[in-house]
Chains A and B, each alone.
Chain A
Amino acid sequence: MANYFQEEIECMPVEKIKALQNELLPAQVRYVWENVEYYRNKMKAHGVTPDDIKSIDDLHKLPFMSKADLRDAYPYGLLAVPLSECVRIQSTSGTTGKRVVAFYTQGDIDIWEDCTARAICAAGGTKDDVCQVSYGYGLFTGGPGLDGGSHKVGCLTIPTSSGNTERQIMFIMDLHATILCCTPSYAAYIGETLKEMGYKPEDIPLKAGIFGAEAWSEEMRRDIEKTLGIKAYDIYGLTEISGPGVSFECSEQRGMHINEDHFLAEIIDPNTGEVLPEGTQGELVFTALDKKAFPLIRYRTRDICTLTREKCSCGRTHVRMTKPKGRSDDMLIIRGVNVFPSQIETVLMNNGYAANYQIIVGRVNNTDTFEVKVEMTPDMFTDNVGEVQARRKVLEDGLRSMLGIKAKVTLVAPKTITRSEGKAVRVIDTRKI
């Protein structure tokens, strides 16, 4: 039995979806033209006005937006409503200058939460479920997004946020959580921990998991499903467009349905910007059709994937996208926890050391490994092995309390951290996707 949150929209015939988009797009372009000077200037420079956009067939005439535009316009340059209309911000990054700060009106939040509610229903969620949200709450969209969707569905929501695995497990077992929402690597970690504690899949009350915000393989999906005794569903989103729930997987587990009544998707050639036909792999581009506060048009996600309109047996008609091949961004998600390189810098500085470090993330047995290489300095060094070890330990403890997860600190010789064009390479992520 397929389970929908908004069946009339989710299963709308394709022609009706197109008609809806044809109605929404010209109005949205005019709205952005009138309210966002930054994009109006971009359109002018591109020789296009709202009059040129009569249907979704004219979409290709509009200029792209990219992360660079978000940076240039930071913080208020892309805001389309007075600040007094905004009720929330979410952000992707810390202090390294590449932050994305997205604004939301209450209406925008509602749209977003509808989308995550659809994802929860697609995973079989109903008001009888107990939904544990183990994504980070806060600036990261994962926690708030799924939390809102869970409320809309009417699940009993357990807002554990990420970290503190023992407490996560206590709630899953004691309160009989049936749906787990977190990053796939954190799900794997929770699963391994339960296994070590002697729980068998049939002892665990969970039946479904909604996992996203990082890349994961089919093999990892099978491992998680086996360890936790659940069905694992992928979810996709990005803060620039709203958050998790831009697209989500159904029980078919063959691509994620994009919520096309809100988000118009295109695939382009990342080099030429040319729109590619359905079924061709390319860069995913989104246009928000009815967002008010932070309405991006033709936003280049840098995610590489394919779209398909093949009929899905779940009954949903919305276009499906394949799992993207990762995203370049500042924020790392390690064992389900957001890690910003700037936080590591802060810990080093707090201890009076120079910030010469490198983060090395890998994955062994579906669990993330997290190492921080720190270049030795005269301030950190003594002739006493025990003392040097103790100082290393202080850094490990500092990182743990800053990040909420354990990192292994390795002391390395000065000037040994990989540098590229003179700049230290801060992150090496070898996780296979």
Chain B
Amino acid sequence: MSVNQVSVFLENKPGTLNNLTEILAAHNINIRALSLAETSEFGIVRMLVNDVFEATNVLKENNFVAIITPVLAYAIEDKAGYLNNLLKHFSAASVNIEYMYAFAGKERAYMIFRVNDTKKAEALLQSKGLKSLTQEEIAAV
């Protein structure tokens, strides 16, 4: 199962990211993982939050452009070599990664992947014995 990521457009200038976190904080939304891609003029915030529905609603109400993007999340051992092992499966299945980010939990590490054909990639990796996390699983981390 893919996980829903919230992607938000921000202008590349001081204060815009803070405006975003201000709104999320006011609505008690917890950010579990966040990555920021930028150009000289704008940025795209990609994040996993505990309440995707609430997050996108409050952002839209506050004039942000926020969309939901499916991403694949995998849990791996937080030890040397485990990301390398995971990526070998991506290579073997010829899955192209558009972007990725990661965060470490108490016991395991979590890798988030954006691929162009999420369903196909997920099936290919599943056949190699890799099971992606569900929204509930990632929320429970």
Chain A interface (Cβ within 8 Å of chain B)? Answer: 376-378, 380-385, 388-389, 410-416
> B57 contacts the other chain (Cβ, under 8 Å)?
no
Tell me whether B65 and A378 are in contact (CB under 8 A). yes
> B7 contacts the other chain (Cβ, under 8 Å)?
yes
Residue in contact with B42 in the complex, picked from A382, A383, A411, CB distance below 8 Å: A411
Tell me whether A383 and B39 are in contact (CB under 8 A). no
Q: Which residues of A contact B16 (CB under 8 A)?
A: 413
Q: Which residues of A contact B44 (CB under 8 A)?
A: 383-385, 388
> B28 contacts the other chain (Cβ, under 8 Å)?
no
Residue in contact with A382 in the complex, picked from B39, B41, B64, B67, CB distance below 8 Å: B67
> B11 contacts the other chain (Cβ, under 8 Å)?
yes
Tell me whether A376 and B98 are in contact (CB under 8 A). no
Tell me whether A410 and B7 are in contact (CB under 8 A). no
> B10 contacts the other chain (Cβ, under 8 Å)?
yes
CB-CB under 8 A for A413 and B64, given A384-B98, A388-B44: yes
Tell me the bound Cα distance from A382 to B98 in angstroms.
13
Which residues of chain B in 34-78 are interfacial with respect to chain A, using CB atoms and an 8 Å cutoff? 37-39, 41-42, 44, 46, 63-65, 67, 69
Residue of B nearest to A375 (CB): B65
Chain A interface SS verdict (over half): loop
Q: Which residues of A contact B11 (CB under 8 A)?
A: 411-413, 416
Q: Which residues of A contact B98 (CB under 8 A)?
A: 384
Q: Which residues of B contact A388 (CB under 8 A)?
A: 9, 42, 44
Size class of the contact patch on chain B:
20 to 34
Residue of B nearest to A383 (CB): B7
Tell me whether B7 and A389 are in contact (CB under 8 A). no
Tell me whether A376 and B9 are in contact (CB under 8 A). yes
Tell me whether B65 and A385 are in contact (CB under 8 A). no
Tell me the bound Cα distance from A268 to B41 in angstroms.
47
Q: Which residues of B contact A380 (CB under 8 A)?
A: 65
CB-CB under 8 A for A376 and B65, given A411-B9, A413-B16: yes
Tell me whether B69 and A383 are in contact (CB under 8 A). yes
Tell me whether B46 and A383 are in contact (CB under 8 A). yes
CB-CB under 8 A for A385 and B39, given A413-B63, A413-B64, A414-B65: yes
20 A-B contact pairs sorted by A residue (CB < 8 Å) = A376-B42, A378-B65, A378-B67, A381-B65, A381-B67, A382-B69, A383-B7, A383-B69, A384-B99, A384-B114, A388-B9, A388-B44, A410-B41, A411-B9, A411-B42, A413-B9, A413-B63, A414-B64, A414-B65, A415-B63
CB-CB under 8 A for A385 and B37, given A378-B65, A412-B11, A415-B63: yes
Q: Which residues of B contact A384 (CB under 8 A)?
A: 44, 98-99, 114
Residue of B nearest to A389 (CB): B39
CB distance from A232 to the nearest CB of B (A): 37
Tell me whether A414 and B46 are in contact (CB under 8 A). no
Residue of A nearest to B43 (CB): A385
Tell me the bound Cα distance from A378 to B66 in angstroms.
7
Q: Which residues of A contact B39 (CB under 8 A)?
A: 385, 389
Residue of B nearest to A415 (CB): B63
Tell me whether B67 and A413 are in contact (CB under 8 A). no
Tell me whether A381 and B41 are in contact (CB under 8 A). no
Tell me whether B63 and A377 are in contact (CB under 8 A). no
Residue of A nearest to B10 (CB): A413
Q: Which residues of B contact A381 (CB under 8 A)?
A: 7, 9, 65, 67
> B132 contacts the other chain (Cβ, under 8 Å)?
no
Tell me the bound Cα distance from A20 to B5 in angstroms.
79
Tell me whether B7 and A382 are in contact (CB under 8 A). yes
Tell me the bound Cα distance from A411 to B99 in angstroms.
22
Tell me the bound Cα distance from A381 to B7 in angstroms.
9
CB distance from A370 to the nearest CB of B (A): 16
**Which of B5, B9, B69 gathers most chain A CB within 10 Å?**
B9
Q: Which residues of B contact A415 (CB under 8 A)?
A: 63
Q: Could you list 6 further interchain pairs (A-B, Cβ under 8 angstroms) beyond the known A381-B65, A388-B42?
A: A376-B42, A383-B5, A384-B98, A384-B99, A388-B9, A412-B11
Tell me the bound Cα distance from A314 to B75 in angstroms.
88
